[in-house]
Structure 1
Amino acid sequence: MHPHARNDSVFYGWAVVAAAFSITFVGFGSAYTFSAFVEPLQRDLGASRGSVALVFSLAGFLYFGLGIVSGPLADRFGARRLAMLGMLFVGIGLALASRARSIVEVYAAYSIGIGLGVGLAYVPAIGTVQRWFVARRGLASGLAVSGIGVGTLIMPPLATWLIASLGWRDAYLVLGVLAALVGVAMSALIVNDPRDRGTGPDGTAIDTRATAKPASGATVAEAVRTSQFIGLYAACLLAAFGVFVPFVHLVPYALDHGLDQASAVLLLGAIGIGSTLGRFLLGSLADRMGRQVFLVAMFAGMAASLFIWAFAGSFWPLAIFALVFGVFYGGWVAILPAVVMDYFGGRHVSGIIGALYTSVAIGTLIGPSAAGFAFDFSHSYTLPILAGAAANILAAIVAIATVRAPRRAIVAS
C-alpha cells in the first residue's frame, strides 16, 4: 500500500529531522568554535600551534570513530538514549575544558567530552533520519546535517563574542550549558522507525499487520566486503586529510595574513553559509540527478576550493574560498549517508555509516594536527593545504571508480 498518510497531520519524520539538525547544530557547532580558541589557548597555556590543533584532531577522531560502536548500538537499542547521553557529554566536556590548567587537561576535557558526545549522538541521529524517507531522502539528510553548517555560521562568532566578554574559560562554560540543554531536549524527539508511529517512510500508509517485519538491507559484515563500501571508505579517508584543516587553521591563517579577529572569524562563518547552502540545495538536487555522481562532484569541488586557499592572502579571496569550500563540504556530508542507504538498505544503516566514518576519523586525526606541526616547522600552511587538495582529487578518482563498479544485489529497498 502506498497512499499518503493523513493530510491533516505533519509527517513526524520532520520532527526527527529537527532533532538531528539540533544535535548537529550544538555538537558540531561547539566543536567548530575551536578555531576561535586557538590563539588564547596558545597564549595562556604556552602551547605550540600543532599541540593546540591536536585538541580538535583528537576530538574529531573520537566523534567520527565512535560511530562504529554507537551505530550498531542505535540499530539495536534505538538512537534516542544514545543521543541524549552524547549531548550531555558534550556539555560536560566543554564545562571541564573551562577549568583546564594545561593543554593536556584540555585534551582530557574537550577532546574526550566532545569526541564521546558527538560520537554517541551523530551517527545514530543521522542513521535514524534515513529510515524515515525514501523519495526525499537526500533532502531530509541534507536538512538534518545542515545543523553543522548553521552551527559553523552562528557558534564561532558567538564564541568570539563570549571570549571577548567573559574570557575563554567562561566562554567554554556557557557553550557547555547551551549544548547540554538544547541537545538533550531535542534528542528526546528521536523515534527510531516510522512504523513506531504507525506510518511508512515519507508518510505512506502501512499495513499494521506487517509492522513486525524488519527493515531490509545488508548487515555491516555484508556491506564492508563490497566494492562500494571499500571505495567509499578509501575516498572519504583521502578527503578527510584536507577537509577539516580549515576548521582549525583558517582563523590562525587569516590572523597571520594581517586580518583582524572579527574578519577572521567571519571567514569561518562563510564556510557555515556555504555549507548550509550545500546541504539544502545539493541534497534535493542530488535526489533528482543521482546521488552517487554528485558525491564525485563534491570531492572535486573541495579539491578546487583548497587550491584557492593555498594562494589566497587577503580577505576577499579567503572569503571566496570559504564560501565555495563550504558548499561542497556541506554537499558531501549531506549526500554521504543517503548514498550508504541507497547501496545497503536501512536495517543496519547506522552501523554501516558508523563503520564508514572511521575513515573520516583517521583523516581528521592526522590532517589538522599535521598541518599545525607543519606550520610550527616551516611557518607556512602552503604545503599542507596543497596536500589536502591533492588528496581530494584522488578521492574523486576513487569515487568515480566506485560508481562504475558492478553492484551486488544485497538490498531490497
Structure 2
Amino acid sequence: MSNPNRFSIINPNKSPFFYGYVVLFIGSIGVLASIPGQTVGVSVFTDPVKDALGLSRNQFSNAYMIGTLLSAFFVSRAGVLFDRYGARYVAFFAAAFLGISLLLFSISVDISEGVKSLTDVDSWVIPFMLITILFFFIRFCGQGVLTMASRNMVMIWFDKNRGKVNSISSIAVSLGFSSSPILIDKLIDNHGWEVSWQILAVCLFIFSLCILQFYRNRPEDFNLIPDGYVKKTKAIEIEKVETNITLKEAKKTRAFWMFGLTLAFNSFFITGFTFHVVSIFGSQGYTKLQAIAIFLPISIIAISVSTLCNILSDYIQHKIYLYIMLTSGVIASLGLLFLSHPIGVYYLIIGLGVFGGLFAVVNAVTWPRFYGRKYLGAITGKVMSFLVIASAIAPSLFSYCFTTFGTYSYISYITLAFLVFLVIASIKIKRPQ
C-alpha cells in the first residue's frame, strides 16, 4: 500500500521500542472484541432472546446454524482480502459492521413485530428469518474476519519469537473468553439483553477507531522485519529465507487437512457445548450459575497449557500437539457421555482445557510455521471456513439430540467416531516445509 500510515497519527518508525509489541497488545484486544460474534458471547443471550422472539430452542439453533453456514462461504474470500489489503482495513470494517449488527439485534423484537404488522402475518418464520440474517453478520464479522485479521497480524510481526508472543496473547484471550459469559450475564441481569447489546455495539465502534490508529499490516512497510531488527540493505543476505506456500499447494498436503479438521472438531464441540451449556447441565440437575462457572477451571488449564506449549512451539514438532489435541477430544467426549456421573465433569474440564489451550497455539503458530506469511490470509481463511461450518452445525445437532433422546450424551458417539478417523489419518503426517 502506498501509505501504510493513512488515517493515523501513530508512526511505528518513531516508536521507542519495537512496534510489534503494540501490535501484540492491540491484536489481542481485537480477538477479544470478537466475543459478541463468538458462541461464548451469543450463548448467554440464547434463552432471553429466543423467548422474546417466540422461537423454540430448535428454531433458534437452526437460525444460528444457517446464518453461520452462510458466513462460512464468505470467510475464505475475506482471507484473500487480508492478503491484498492487510489486517488494518479488513479488521476496521469487520468491527464496525459487527457493532451495527448488534444494534439491529437489540431491536430485533421491534423489527419482527413491525414486519408482522405490515405483512399481516403472525408467524415464527419472520423472527426466524430476521435472526438468521443477523447471525450471518455477527458470525462472519466476529468469529470469522475480526478474529482472523487480528490473530494473523500478530503472527506476521514475529517469526523466531512467534510462539512466545502468542503465549502472551493466548493468556489474555483465554481469560477474556472464559470470564465473558459471567460478565455478559451480569450485564444482562442489570440492563436487559437489548441494552447489553447496545453497550457492546458502542464499545465496538470505539475500538474500530483504535484499529485505524494502531493496527499495522507488515513490519516491512516500515523498514522493519519480524521480531524487530532494523532492515539494512547490506545485510539482506543474512535474513532468513522464508518459504511461502499457496493455498492450492497447501491443500495438497496431509498436514493442512489433519490440523484443519482437528481445529474444526474443537470448534464443533465447544460451540455445541457452550451454546447449550445451561441446558446441558440443567438436564443433570445443575443450576445456571454452576453451568457457567465451568468455564473458569477450563480456562485455567487452557492458559497453563497454552503458555507452556506456545513457548515450546518454537522448538518442537507441531504434530505432537496434534496427537495431544486428539486425545483431549476423546477425554472431553467421554466427559459429556458420562456427565451424569461426577467424574464426567472432570473429564470435560480436563479435555476442553487441554484442547482449548492447544487450539490457541496451533491455530495461530502452526500455519505461518508450516506455510509462510505471504499467503497466510488465504490459508487461514480457508481453515476458518472449516471452523465456521463446524460451529454452525453443532448447536442444531446438539439440540436435536436432546429433543429426540432427552439427553445430550449421545452426541459423544458421533464425536468419538470422528476422532478415531482423525487419529488413523494423522499417522503419516509430515511438515510441508
- Long gaps (5+) in structure 2: 1-12, 110-126
Partner of 2:196: 171
- Whole-Å Cα distance in 1 between the matches of residues 21 and 69 of structure 2? 30
CA shift for structure 1 position 155: 1.6
Contact residue 275 and residue 326 of structure 1 kept, 8 A: yes
Determine if contact 1:217/1:348 at 8 Å carries over to the other structure: yes
Name the counterpart of 2:182: 157
Shift of 1:22: 0.9
Match of residue 105 from structure 2: 97
Which stretch shifts more, 239-248 or 356-365? Answer: 239-248
Q: Distance in 1 between matches of 2:142 and 2:263?
A: 22
1:140 counterpart = 2:140: no
Q: 1:223 to 1:30 in 2, by over 3 A?
A: closer
Matched, 1:68 2:76: yes
- For residues 305-345 of structure 1, the C-alpha deviation after alignment (integer angstroms, 9 at most, x for no partner) is 22113212378853662354133223123223322212211
For residues 242-296 of structure 1, give each alpha carbon's deviation from its aligned partner in whole angstroms, at most 9, with x where no partner exists: 3422221222211232222222221234444443333333211332332232122
* 1:353 and 2:354 correspond: no
Q: CA deviation at 1:62?
A: 5.5
Q: Secondary structure at the match of 1:287?
A: coil
**Retained in 2: the 8 A contact 1:245–1:368?**
yes
Give the corresponding residue for 1:268: 295
Aligned partner of 1:334 among 361, 366, 386: 361
Instruction: Within 5 Å, give how 1:2-41 maps onto structure 2.
Output: 9-28=16-35, 30-31=37-38, 32-41=40-49
Task: Report SS of the residue matched to 1:401.
Answer: coil
- Tell me: CA distance 1:163–1:239, structure 2 relative to 1, closer, same or farther (3 Å): closer
Match 2:429 to one of 381, 389, 402: 402
The letter for the 2-side match of 1:294 is Y
1:378 paired residue number: 405
- Is 1:181 the counterpart of 2:206 in the alignment? yes
Choose which of 333, 347, 352 in structure 2 pairs with 1:325. Answer: 352
Tell me how far apart the structure 2 counterparts of residues 91 and 147 of structure 1 sit (CA, whole Å). 22
- Match for 1:127: what amino acid? N
- Give the conservation status (yes or no) of the 8 Å contact 1:72–1:351: yes
Q: 1:130 matched to which residue of 2?
A: 155
Q: Larger C-alpha radius of gyration, 1 or 2?
A: 2
The answer to whether the 8 Å contact 1:271/1:325 transfers is: yes
- Give the Å deviation of 1:119: 2.4
1:223 aligns with 2:250: yes
| TM-score in terms of structure 2 length | 0.82
For 2:66 and 2:160, how far apart are their aligned partners in 1? 37
Could you tell me which residue of structure 1 aligns to residue 119 of structure 2?
none
- Deviation readout 1:104-147 (Å, 9 max, x if unpaired): 32222244234234422222222222222222222333444555
Q: Percent identity of the aligned residues?
A: 21
Change (3 A) 1:183 1:387: farther
Q: Flag the 1:174–1:408 CA change in 2: closer, same or farther, 3 A.
A: closer
- SS of alignment partner, residue 335 of structure 1: helix
**Counterparts in 2 of 1:203 and 1:112: CA distance versus 1, 3 Å:** same
**Cα distance change on mapping 1:139 and 1:78 into 2, 3 Å:** same
Q: Which letter does structure 2 place at the counterpart of 1:383?
A: Y
User: 1:315, 1:275 → 2: CA distance?
Assistant: 21
The structure 1 residue matched to 2:310, chosen from 259, 266, 283, is 283
Cα–Cα, structure 1 residues 160 and 293, in superposed 2: closer, same or farther, change >3 Å? same
Check the 8 A contact 2:155/2:365 in 1, yes or no: yes
- Structure 1, 52-61 or 324-333: larger mean CA deviation: 52-61
Report the CA distance between 1:408 and its aligned residue.
5.4
Checking the alignment, whether the CA contact within 8 Å between 1:305 and 1:325 is kept in structure 2 is: yes
Bigger shift: residues 85-94 or 248-257 = 248-257
CA separation of 1:396/1:145 partners in 2, compared to 1, >3 Å: closer, same or farther? farther
1:42 aligns with 2:50: yes
AA aligned opposite 2:35: F
Q: Give 1:149 deviation, angstroms.
A: 2.1
C-alpha deviation, 1:386, in angstroms:
3.6
After TM superposition, the structure 1 = structure 2 runs for residues 239-258 of structure 1, keeping only pairs within 5 Å, are: 239-258=266-285
Q: Which of these residues, 396, 411, 414, is aligned with residue 387 of structure 1?
A: 414
Does the 8 Å CA contact 1:299/1:332 hold for their aligned counterparts? no
Residue 292 (str. 1) matches residue 319 (str. 2): yes
Structure 1: runs of 5+ lacking an equivalent: 1-5
Residues 24, 145 of structure 1: 8 Å contact kept: no
Amino acid at match of 1:17: L
1:115 matched to 2:122? The reply is: no
Q: Deviations over 1:183-208 (max 9, x none)?
A: 54246422111122332211233224
Alignment check: 8 A CA contact 1:85 1:184 kept = no
Q: Which amino acid aligns with 1:353?
A: T
Instruction: For residues 90-117 of structure 1, give each alpha carbon's deviation from its aligned partner in whole angstroms, at most 9, with x where no partner exists.
Output: 2111221111123432222244234234
Flag the 1:187–1:369 CA change in 2: closer, same or farther, 3 A. farther
* Closer/same/farther in 2, CA of residues 86 and 316 from structure 1, 3 Å limit: farther
Q: Secondary structure at the match of 2:339?
A: coil
